[in-house]
């Protein structure tokens, strides 16, 4: 594992308080940056962008160069795993991702796991290139979509839905769902382990569609597959910290952190600091959770909330972030102001 003493963000993930708190933002590389849009225009399509290491490396580094963030997160997409498994992923302008739906039996067996892992080799090259160029004080975060979130796209065949089709499918096909989630755990574990081998300092599991689930369903399709993924990563020799992000977990957040074995948890916009501090262990690292819409709005209200969040977590390891990703129309000056405020809020 990399030396955490010189990497503030990694040090926090290992359970240590740092002041000022380190900062990065989900979707920090993206459409709010003109340099990203210029770079994106050079690729023939989005998958080509993700699979071209020179382009993905530059996209990963752009927010570090502009904002001096403490963490660089690999530029990729959560659906690359499905693409590598042969599920016919494509991205249509104005529509979003389109995926060949999984069969009712739930198996993703078109491509062996090892073949899928090898198909994702351009991603590992991107990690290696970023690692070579990244300042030693910055933490490189690898990532993947968590099992249920990726399964949802495989079931529904597209994004931009109300997710009810996938939830109903989960109720009606419990055996198929278990097979689907287990397949995703295995291939995702190998994918993430390869990112670490290529140089990632930490990993993040994006369970972006954990919201709206009953507690028993949440335990079955979010907590248990996330736990299996963490266990499998450790079996494969991965020792780096793992961040879980169960967006919309609500009152299930304590159970998620207790059972899954994650090293830290990303907090969404809706959860309150009082709940987090009351329900999570005192020294458990948290990441979050400024509202992306407030970041877009800017102004005094945004600045007050930044300081409130930092003050709320002064007694635990904390990484400043958003409750979801940076929105495309977010003004750059608002991001710059948040970084400035965070850097200025060292413990007195």
Instruction: Show which residues are catalytic.
Output: 27, 31, 40, 77, 153
Q: In what order do the strands lie in the sheet with 286-290?
A: 71-73, 139-145, 202-207, 242-246, 264-266, 286-290, 318-322
Environment class of residue 278 by beta-carbon count within 10 Å: exposed (0-12), middle (13-18) or buried (19+)? Answer: exposed
Q: Burial code of 294-311, b = ≥16 C-beta within 10 A, e = fewer? A: bbbebeeebbebbeebbe
Grouping H, G, I as helix, E, B as strand and the rest as coil, residue 311 is helix
134, 64 Cβ separation under 8 angstroms: yes
Helix, strand or coil, per DSSP, at residue 137: coil
Torsion of CA 343, 315, 304, 209, to 10 degrees: 90
3 state SS of 41 = coil
| Closest C-alpha among 228, 130, 249, 133 to residue 178 | 228
DSSP string, 226-293: HHHHHHHHHHTT--S-EEEEETT-GGGHHHHHHHH--SEEE--SSS-HHHHHHHS-TT--EEEEE-HH
């Amino acid at each position: 594992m990399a030396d955490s003493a010189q990497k503030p963000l990694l040090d926090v993930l290992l359970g240590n308080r740092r002041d000022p708190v380190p900062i990065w933002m989900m979707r920090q590389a993206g459409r709010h940056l003109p340099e990203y849009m210029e770079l994106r225009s050079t690729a023939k399509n989005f998958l080509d962008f993700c699979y071209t290491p020179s382009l993905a490396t530059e996209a990963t580094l752009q927010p570090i160069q502009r904002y001096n963030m403490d963490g660089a997160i690999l530029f990729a997409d959560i659906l690359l795993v499905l693409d590598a498994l042969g599920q016919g992923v494509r991205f249509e302008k104005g529509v979003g991702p389109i995926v060949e739906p999984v069969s009712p039996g739930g198996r993703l067996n078109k491509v062996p796991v090892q073949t899928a892992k090898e198909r994702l080799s351009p991603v590992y090259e991107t990690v290696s290139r970023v690692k070579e160029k990244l300042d030693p004080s910055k933490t490189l975060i690898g990532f993947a979509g968590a099992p249920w979130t990726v399964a949802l796209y495989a079931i529904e065949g597209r994004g931009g839905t109300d997710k009810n089709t996938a939830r109903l499918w989960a109720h009606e096909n419990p055996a198929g769902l278990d097979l689907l989630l287990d397949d995703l755990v295995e291939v995702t574990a190998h994918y993430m382990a390869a990112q670490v081998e290529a140089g990632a300092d930490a990993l993040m599991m994006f369970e972006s569609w954990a919201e709206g689930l009953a507690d028993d369903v949440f335990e079955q399709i979010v907590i248990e597959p996330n736990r299996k993924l963490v266990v499998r990563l450790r079996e494969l020799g991965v020792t780096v910290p793992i961040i879980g992000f169960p967006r919309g977990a609500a009152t299930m957040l304590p159970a998620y952190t207790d059972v899954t074995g994650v090293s830290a948890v990303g907090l969404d916009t809706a959860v309150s600091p009082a709940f987090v501090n009351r329900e999570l262990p005192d020294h458990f690292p948290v990441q979050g959770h400024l509202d992306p819409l407030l970041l877009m709005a800017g102004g005094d209200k945004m600045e007050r909330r930044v300081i409130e969040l930092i003050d709320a977590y002064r007694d635990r390891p904390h990484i400043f972030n958003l409750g979801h990703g940076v929105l495309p129309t977010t003004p750059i000056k608002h991001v710059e102001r948040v970084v400035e405020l965070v850097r200025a809020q060292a413990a007195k």
